[in-house]
Structures are given as C-alpha cells and as structure tokens.
Structure 1
Amino acid sequence: MCRTASNHLFLLMLFFCATNSSGGLFGQAFDHPLYELEERIMEGDKDALFEIALYFDSKKDFVEYVDFKEWTTKEATKAKRIVRENCQFLDSEIMINDSTSGKQFFDFLFENRQKIFFSKIATSFILTPLENRMVHYEIRELSPLKKKELQGQAGELLNLGWVKAARIDSMIVQKSPEALHLIAVQLFKHRRKSDNYSYPEMYIDLLQFLTDLEIGVKDNQGKFVWQVNEFFYDEPRFNLLVFFVKHHQQFAWNEQELRFINPQLSVRPLEKEEYLFQLLSNENDSLAMDAFIQLSSCPPQKVISAASEYFDFSMVKNDFIPIFPCAFITKTAELTAYCRDHGIDYEGSALLQKKITLLRTELPINERVKLESELIQSLKLEEITALEYWALVYESRWQLGKSTRRILNEFYLKNWQQILAQPKHLDLYLKKANLLYQLTYQGFYNDYRGRFSPLTAEESKALNNHSTQDMEVKAEIELLLGHKKH
C-alpha cells in the first residue's frame, strides 16, 4: 500500500474515532478512551498504537490524578507519554516529542507495521530487536564494604516476592546465568510508579550480590549512571536490560568466588575517590566524616568526577557531613589543592585544632565569646585558613559556623591593610572569595566579596596592581572592579 493510501486510512480512522468516542474525538470523561488504549498497548495490541496516534495533535485538556492530586495536561501530552513509556524505538527510527504529529507517528507505524512487534522481555513495542542494539556501559569492582553489606542481606534478597514469582531463585540454585537476565527483565517490567515493585534498589542489590560488580549504563542525557536512585528512570533500566540480553550467557558460576563471573568483560578497580564517596552516605558518622576529610585533600578533578554520580539530598544519611556534601567537598578540595600548591597550612597546629573542636561543642556563652576573642587576637594570617578549612569540613556544626563568622569578620577587619599589601595573602583571599561564593548557601563563606563593598581607592589600586596566574583569582578581580557582571 502506498503513502497516499496510508494518509486516507489515517483520515478515515480520525473520522471513525470522532464519531464513536464518548463526548467526541477529544471528549473528556472519567473513563477516557486514552486509559483503555494504554491498557491495550501495555498488553501488546498493535492496533491501539495506530488509534492513539489520533490524539497526538489534540489540544484538549486532560485531567489525571497523581498522588491524589489533580493534574491538568493535554490529551496530546498524555498520548505521547503513553507511547514513550510503552515503546522502545531507536532515535534513528522515530523520536516521540512535543512536535511529533499524529500523521508522522501513524506513517511510521504504517511503513513498519510488519516489523514492529511487542517484546515480552522488554514489555514494549520495538522495531530493532534487543540483541541487535548497541549499549554503552562501564564496569567497576564492588567495594568491600558494599560486598559485606549485601552478604548480610542475602537471605532477604533471595526471598523477595518478585524473585520467587519469576522463578529467579530456582535459576540461582541451578547456577544459571539466566537469573541475571531475568532480574534485569523484572527491573524494567516493574518500571511504573504505580507498581508495587517499582523501587529499583533490590534489583540492583541482587545483581551486585551475584556478580560483585557495579554496572554503569547511560541515561537519556548520555551520562553514565551508577547510583540506585538513577534507576528510577526508564532509560537506565532499559539499557541495563539490553546489557544483560547481550551478555548474560557469557557469565558462569565460579565455585571459589561464589559468584557469576564474565572473563570477557573489562572491569576496572574502584578509585579511591569513588570509594570515599560511597562512604559519605554511610549511617556510621565516624566513617562518613573520615571519608569527607580524606576527600577534602584529594585531587579536585577526581573529586568532581566522583561527585558527578551523586545528588546532594540522596546522600545525607548521617548527622555530621554537610547537608550539601557534593558542593562543599568539591570546593573544599579546590581550596586545599591551592593551599598545597602555594605552601599554605590549611590543617593548623594541634593546639588550634583543639580550640576549633571546642567551638564545635555546646559552650557556655561567656566561654565561647572568650575563646572567639582570643582567636581574633592570636591568629596570624598564616593560620586563618585552618579555621576556615575546618569550618567548611564541619559545616553541619552550626555552633562552629556561628563562631567562625564572628572571628573572620573581626580578624579580616584587623588585618585588612596587611592583606592588601602582601600579594600572597591577597591572592589567597581572592581565591577564597571566588570559590566559597559559589556555595550560595547562608554562612561565613558568603562574606568574602562583601568586604570589598563599597570598593575604596586603596582596594581598587591593590586589585589593579595585583598579578596572578590563577584564572579564578583573575575573574574575581574583574568582578570586584566592575569589569564583569556578578
């Protein structure tokens, strides 16, 4: 049948739907036709795909209820979302987005009607079989701590309802690598939020328990994802499924290591920074805090790379590390790297560390004020960075942050002329101003730029005459002089 015939058929179906749907083509009712079409598509009815194309151009409101709240969208938006959730077509085949018209989708279906099929493995309509697809992945070793944690959860993982329902437990007893494949199938099958088994953690944990591997696949932005929370989204789930469709038969049970191994895969060791980041979310305060302190002195680029895997709010499971750990640890690592390159002590003497530790505690007000005043008078320019460093590390200790703010305000007022006159100290101060302002949260780290406002003639002269090789310091000078917008 030619393209013209498909156009006529599309118009005929449009007319049929308009005259037979309750309330017209785009009539709104509690039992809206889109819900029925969604059910049929989920069951593998290819005809329903053709029918849902008729809603792709609708501008009529569509009301649905999510978490007991009423949400108003458009019928076209709902229809396209149904198709995206239940079809896994390659971008090179068709992209379903806001601009995709009903006719474009209908023509695609019409031209490929013999080749499009419903995959029971992917619980989706596809054109290119899963085994013929390209999947990008990285694999790294599981950390010793995670291995120990999973071993303690083994009984629970092997007795999960979906594990038994899919007979994955039997496959594991038989030491068949098909178990890995079936776990990935179940992960993608239960991808919808309304599903009782939608949370991805147990699926990923079971795969890691059986392989001692972390498998990173790409999301819809082309970024490798590793963390469990990233597998809430369809793209990583689907890519992990494709990985196991293509590779599960290469795995074999190893009696010595008591896990499935695949010698054909390239597995890299877990880098120090990656391991330390995993410890940050440990419920053990001491472990998490020690990891944070170690990370604060690691190479900044490695810290930034490791941090890119995480989202701040998903990490905080203890009361010691900063509430925004990714932001604080990356900026602190940049500051300590600068200090090492320029011979600046950021840890401080044992005596200074002892006083800073006291400021973290619940001191009587008179003792706190006395200790603050003592530090204001005794600290030298070479020592102030240590206070700032430990205050960043222990940002969650509000007592220390409050004291640090008062100490720094009075200390810098007292030593301002000396800072302006000495290039090394001015360069360091400007570096702090640039780095710490990027934190954007409320705290002592917001005050550095403000000390130049309003800019005096003496300050302007010092900034204009200051020579530096540091690009961030140069940017800070331009900003303070008004040559660059905030």
Structure 2
Amino acid sequence: MKKLIPLFFLFFIHLFNCQYAEGQYYESEIYKLKLRIEKGDKKALYELTPYFDSSKKLAEYLGHHYHETEEFYLAKRVIEENFIFPEQAINLEEIKNSETYSDFFKKNENKIKYSPELETFYITPLKDRKDFIEFRELPIAKLQNLIKRRSEIITKDWIKARGIDVLIRQNNPESLVKICEEFYRLRDKFNFFNRDQEDFPELLKLLIHKDIGSVGRNDYRVWDTDDSNFDNKAILNLLIYFTKNYKNFVWDNSSHCFINKSLKSKQIDDITILFEELYNDNDSIALNTFIKLSQSETKRVNEISAEKERNILSSTNPIIPMFPYRFLSQLSLLTLYYRQNNIDFQGTKDLHTHIEKLSSKISFKERRAYENYLIDHITLQDITPLEYWSLIYEKRPKLSESVSRILDIYYTKNWDTILNDEKQLELYLKKSLLYGRIGINGNVNYYLFKFTGNGNDAIKLLYKIKSEDPDIVFQIENAKKMCLKSFDYPISPQKISGGNFNSEKVDLKDETEKIKVTAKDSDDFEYKILKLFSKVGYSQIPEALQILEKLNFKENSYNNKYSMFERDFGFFVIENWKDKKVRDQFLSVYQSHTEKELYKYYLDLAGIDYKNQDESLDYDKIYEILKFDIVTSFTGSQELENEVGAIVKLLESDQNTTLGYPDKLCNSAGMYICPPSDRAWEWRKYLKDKKLLRKEHSKIVSFNYGYYIDKVLVYREINSK
C-alpha cells in the first residue's frame, strides 16, 4: 500500500500541472492579443512586440495533443496566420526578435491595412502583387469527375453563406474571386483545418475547364489540394491571380464555363490523360490503363508519378496496386530495360492460364500441388513475366502468396544457373533494386539476400559483369557485401513471450460465466473470451469447442472465436471452423487419433509430402518445408505459416522435445501474427546437428531469411531495449 501513495501523489501533481498549464493557455495576454488581431485590431499588432523576445513557455492543446510553445514562436505564428507580408519589405524568417519586428512595424505602420473579407492584415494590395499560377488543359476523365461533384459542392454551406451559389447561377465571373476569398479566409491555422479544402480548387477548375497549378510551400507548384505542399501560400496565389483577372473571364453557354481568351494553358500529352483513367470506376478501364502506363515512356511516367505520389489522399480505382505511382515508377523502368534487352515480360498463353489458376479460390491441397508443379516445369524465361503480372495484379492476395513461394524455391534451385549466366545475373540484380524501391512490404524486398554467404566464387562472377547500367553497378557492390556475410540460423534465446507461453488447465465454464458478468460491453467480452481460451492446451480442445459454440460474438465482429485452433495448434487445412459439420468432423478425428496421428492425418489430407514410403518421417523433406513454407506474400505483409506449425508439432512428438519452447505454437489472443518462425529455424539446425539429414541441402537462403533478419530481429532488438 505504501507504494501506491507516491504514485497517487505523482498523478495528482501531473493533473494539477495540466490544469495549471491549461489555465495559462486561456489567461495569457498573448492569446487576448491573438483574438484582437484576428478581428483587425491594428493596435494589437504593435502590442505583440515584446513577445518576440520572450522564451516563456505556454501550454497548448491541439486535440488530444499537448504542446509547450515559447511565446516568441507563438508571436511569430500569430503574425504568419494573420498577415500577408509584402513581397519585398521583409519575410517571416527575418523577424528574429522584438527589435526587427518593431522596425518592420514602424516603417510600414501607415501602410498596414486589414481586410475583413479575408480576415488578415496586408500592405501590398492583391492587385499589385505577382501571382505564380499556371494552367493546363483538363483531361476529359478529370473534367467528368468534376462535373459529377458539381451539385454536391454547390449545396455546401460555405458557398451559400457567401452568396457564391447565386453568382454562379448568374454566370457572374466575380464568383471566381469570391471562391478564392472564402478559400483564403478559411485557411489553415494552428487550431483550424478546412475540411472542405478540396472543394475550392475543384470548383474553380470546373468553372473554367482548366487545371490550375499554384506555387506553394518550398516554391513548388502544386495541382491538387491533397499535395502536402498545397498550403496557405498556394491559396494566396490563387487569390492574387483571380483578384487581378476575374473580369477577363466571360461565360460561354456552349462549353458551360468561363472563357478567358488571353489565358495561356499548356496542352496535355497522352500519358497525362492516361493517368486520369486510373480513377475510372470501371475496373477493366482502370487496370488496362495501369498496364499501359507501366509500359509507357519512362521519363513522363516518372514525372507524373512523382506529382501524383504527393497526393496521398487521392483514391484510384481499388483494383490497381495499393501504391500505384510507386509501382508505375519502377515498372516503367523495368519494362524499358526489358525492351532494350529483348526480355519477354508479357509471358505465354500458358503462363497466363497458370496466373489465373493461382489467383482463383482453390483448396490448399490443390494450390500446393499446383505450386510444386510450376516450380518443376516453368523456365527462367517465365519468371520475369510471372513477376511482372504479379505486380500488376497486386490486389490478388492468393496469387501473391503462391508466387512468392514459387519464386523463392525456383530461384534457390536455379541459383547456379543464374550466377553463371551474365544476362540472367544482370537481370536479377536490376530487379532486386527496382523491386525494393517500390516501397511495399513483401518478398520483393529480399532478392539480394540470395547472395548471403555465396563467398568468393560468386564475387568473381560479379566482377565479370561490365554493365554500364548504374542500377546494376550499384547492386553489384551490395551483392558482393552480401556474399561475404556468413549465414547462421537466426535463433532467438527468447522462447517465452506475451504471445507464446505454456498452456494452463483452465476452468473454462466458471471463468466464462465470470466474464459474462464483468465484461463492460461486447468488445470487452470478446477480448476477454479470446484471452481466456488462448490459454488452453491440447487436452481441453473438445471442452473449448463445446463452450465456444454457445457463446455469441457480434455479427459484424472482426474477432473469430475459433481462430485459436488454427493459430495456436497449427490445424492449417481446416478452412471454416464456424461450420458445425466441420467442427464435428474435427472432433471425430481428434477423439480417434493420438496427437501425433492427428497432425499426420491433416498433413496427409493437405497433400503435404513429408514422409518416406514406410510412413517414417523424411527429415530432408521436412527440412525444406521448414525453410520455405512460412511464406510472406510477394507484395504485402501477410505471413502464412501454412503446414509448418503442424510439422513442428509432429517433430516435437517424434523427437520427444519442444526444444525449450512452450507446449503450444502460440497463445494468439491479441496477437496480430505469431508464426512458428523461431521453431522452424531451430528445428532446421536440430535436424542438421543431429545428423538426421541424408542429403546435401542448398546453402542459398530463403526469402524468409531476409524477412526474418530485416523485420523480426530488428523488432526484437527494439523491444529488448
């Protein structure tokens, strides 16, 4: 109890300090000045002067975030938010203290005016300022999307409040400048963000049928409000231009927009037009456009992709890859390389049939057999188009999972062939770099790891390459370093964790009743139930199933009350635990088999090749399963343990040891993923150390090794600190 007193005291002090700080926020004189300045009180501008020398810290709250701000920085922020500085006289960076601010104020006191429409002070009238605006033609697809939004925007409160809707109905060009004035009046401030921000430039574009680029932060020209550089400076440039030029716009009834005959706008090329079709609601149009762009002129694709990439909030058609512009940047470089080197990346008709089959919903057994067939029968010439189309179809998760395993095993089996074929080696190096630059999770990032521990023989082959391609030259040096890295099984000494501990004998019935009484709501109930049931061991499976059947989870719950049976015990091949027939069938097998027999039963059911003809375990086959069959998708973060968990449980029974790990594969409640990667590495080492292997196995590492080194061990190192 004594320990609780100081903790409570600290909490009280913290609460007091927060209240005191919040009190400072409202009581500080600078905030009163801020409010006066925002209302146009010129005298308050002068009274702000001494705060430019103050380092006193004030507490501020932005939503739930607490900040401590020196009065000097707050004073600068007040001026920045409420003053349009003249172009030549001074800029905000030049105000270092009260002296420089006072000098600026005194020199310009008689020139400073306040605009109630814009709610800001200024010196130079907008009509006398330079604007930094550029126009270009609007792609038809983009214009059509804007037309669809017209009625939505016109009915917004901000447009009605200022009478802009009336001006638009009257075809009055003054509406253009009024839109900009309201846009600037609602500019971003420390504690205000205009949630309708995109409406303003979109309405302007719709009314003049032109795309508008305005210079914003870092003097960068931005074309969309989603761009992080579209700030108050960009809004100001819009305002300046239309203030000076709105009278030059005349309504044209035939085109239903304002026309300015003196306006010069850049023509757009075919690639720019294509990019707009990525937003098309028609899946076929959007995907075919993406394919075409991936094979288009590299320089333009990269220029437009760089512009679009900054528009982080813009949503393309969901059928194309998650990060479309990153993909296009690298794919256009790859397809250029392929064409220059006469490398087929389109693939044969048969290959496309394989891709469609892998993309479809087929059973685990059929999928695994099909993957193994392709590993044995595709050629090196098939690999590049298989990778290319897997990137195009990034939104097909089953394809990504299967292709990842196929490529991993295929590259390992054919590694010597690739190393000794200069063209193939250059191709592999090129892909290894550009795939990694896409910036998405997945085994695309781990190609270079295949060089791990290759030694001097591989380095000599790398030295033979005389490529002038800077990407290949760069990657040769990285590959040499990987060749000199020694491989060792990355076994962690930590065998017990928050998601991995021994099972307990739990009174499920009694504990479940307690949870029903104590749970705060349905989410709390589900969480506590999953946490409770994640403790149970193999012997309590029937009881756990019986009780879970009677418990109701929300219909739209993201929790699966039966997920523990796959994740904690490795029953990988059972797809629908929610089906009572499936559960009854499982219980029948459970009750008629020993634990070892049960795992063998389901491995056999899945068509896993893991044993000899005499039914004894084939440790060489098992070694390969442990190496390759925990699969991370080709693109994406999904990590599938597949049959590896079941194989581990089988080995534990066969060798009568868990290697010091808990008796369960995982205690999955609250865990995002918990594949048996650690056990797989340690069991591989065990099989080798115990001389249970009869064959020589390739020293070329799996992609999973790269994933493990790059992610898991780094994550552990961070957590250990």
TM-score normalised according to structure 2 size:
0.60
1:46 aligns with 2:18: no
Which residue number corresponds to residue 308 of structure 1?
A: 306
Kept in 1, the 8 Å contact 2:25–2:59? The answer is: no
Which residue number corresponds to residue 208 of structure 1?
A: 205
For 1:361 and 1:313, the matched residues in 2 are separated by 31
Q: CA deviation at 1:258?
A: 1.5
Number of positions where the alignment pairs a residue of Structure 1 with one of Structure 2? 458
Which of 215, 219, 230 is 2:216 aligned to?
219
Which of 251, 259, 262 is 1:261 aligned to?
259
Structure-2 change in CA distance of 1:462 and 1:312 (3 Å): farther
Kept in 2, the 8 Å contact 1:59–1:75? The answer is: yes
For 1:89 and 1:415, the matched residues in 2 are separated by 66
From the CA coordinates, give the structure whose radius of gyration is larger. 2
Which residue number corresponds to residue 655 of structure 2?
A: none
- 1:51-200 aligned at under 5 Å gives the runs 51-90=47-86, 92-97=88-93, 100-192=96-188, 198-200=195-197
- 1:356-395 aligned at under 5 Å gives the runs 356-395=355-394
Deviations 1:303-362 (A, max 9, x none): 111122233742345542222222222111111111111111111112211211222233
For 1:312 and 1:379, the matched residues in 2 are separated by 40
For 1:321 and 1:368, the matched residues in 2 are separated by 24
Kept in 1, the 8 Å contact 2:344–2:384? The answer is: yes
Kept in 2, the 8 Å contact 1:137–1:217? The answer is: yes
Structure-2 change in CA distance of 1:98 and 1:379 (3 Å): farther
Kept in 2, the 8 Å contact 1:345–1:385? The answer is: yes
Which residue number corresponds to residue 231 of structure 2?
A: 233
Kept in 2, the 8 Å contact 1:280–1:292? The answer is: yes
RCO comparison, higher one (Cα < 8 Å, 6+): 2
Which residue number corresponds to residue 272 of structure 1?
A: 270
Q: Which amino acid aligns with 1:435?
A: L
Kept in 1, the 8 Å contact 2:222–2:230? The answer is: no
For 1:163 and 1:150, the matched residues in 2 are separated by 16
Kept in 2, the 8 Å contact 1:437–1:446? The answer is: yes
For 2:94 and 2:281, the matched residues in 1 are separated by 43
Q: Secondary structure at the match of 1:442?
A: coil
Deviations 1:247-294 (A, max 9, x none): 212111112212101121112233333333333345554443233222
Which residue number corresponds to residue 335 of structure 1?
A: 334
Structure-2 change in CA distance of 1:153 and 1:328 (3 Å): closer
For 2:218 and 2:479, the matched residues in 1 are separated by 36
For 1:154 and 1:220, the matched residues in 2 are separated by 28
Q: Secondary structure at the match of 1:125?
A: strand
Which of 292, 301, 306 is 1:294 aligned to?
292
- 1:6-21 aligned at under 5 Å gives the runs none
For 2:29 and 2:142, the matched residues in 1 are separated by 47
Kept in 1, the 8 Å contact 2:301–2:332? The answer is: yes
For 1:119 and 1:383, the matched residues in 2 are separated by 67
Q: Secondary structure at the match of 1:156?
A: helix
The worse-fitting range, judged by mean Cα deviation, of 425-434 and 191-200 is 191-200
Deviations 1:37-95 (A, max 9, x none): 11221222222112223212222221122124332222222221111111111464222
Kept in 1, the 8 Å contact 2:180–2:238? The answer is: yes
For 1:412 and 1:99, the matched residues in 2 are separated by 61
Q: Secondary structure at the match of 1:221?
A: helix
For 2:74 and 2:279, the matched residues in 1 are separated by 37
Query: Unaligned stretches of 5+ in structure 1?
Result: 1-26
For 1:322 and 1:52, the matched residues in 2 are separated by 52
Q: Secondary structure at the match of 2:459?
A: helix
For 1:99 and 1:126, the matched residues in 2 are separated by 16
For 1:408 and 1:393, the matched residues in 2 are separated by 16
Which residue number corresponds to residue 397 of structure 1?
A: 396
Kept in 2, the 8 Å contact 1:191–1:198? The answer is: no
CA RMSD of aligned residues (A): 2.4
Q: Which amino acid aligns with 1:260?
A: F
The worse-fitting range, judged by mean Cα deviation, of 441-450 and 104-113 is 441-450
For 2:100 and 2:458, the matched residues in 1 are separated by 64
Q: Secondary structure at the match of 2:226?
A: helix
Q: CA deviation at 1:399?
A: 1.7
Structure-2 change in CA distance of 1:109 and 1:312 (3 Å): closer
Kept in 2, the 8 Å contact 1:227–1:309? The answer is: no
Q: Which amino acid aligns with 1:332?
A: L
Which residue number corresponds to residue 15 of structure 1?
A: none
Q: CA deviation at 1:387?
A: 0.7
Q: Secondary structure at the match of 1:362?
A: coil
Query: Unaligned stretches of 5+ in structure 2?
Result: 1-22, 483-709, 711-721
Q: Secondary structure at the match of 2:69?
A: strand
For 1:352 and 1:217, the matched residues in 2 are separated by 47
Which residue number corresponds to residue 249 of structure 2?
A: 251
Q: Secondary structure at the match of 2:255?
A: coil
For 1:347 and 1:198, the matched residues in 2 are separated by 44
1:35 aligns with 2:31: yes
Q: Secondary structure at the match of 2:219?
A: coil
Kept in 1, the 8 Å contact 2:85–2:123? The answer is: yes
Aligned-residue identity in percent: 33
Q: Which amino acid aligns with 1:270?
A: I
The worse-fitting range, judged by mean Cα deviation, of 390-399 and 345-354 is 390-399
Kept in 2, the 8 Å contact 1:293–1:393? The answer is: yes
Deviations 1:393-413 (A, max 9, x none): 122322222212211112112
For 2:326 and 2:396, the matched residues in 1 are separated by 17
Structure-2 change in CA distance of 1:408 and 1:77 (3 Å): same
For 2:343 and 2:449, the matched residues in 1 are separated by 24
Which residue number corresponds to residue 454 of structure 1?
A: 453
Q: Which amino acid aligns with 1:266?
A: K
TM-score normalised according to structure 1 size:
0.88
Q: CA deviation at 1:481?
A: 2.5
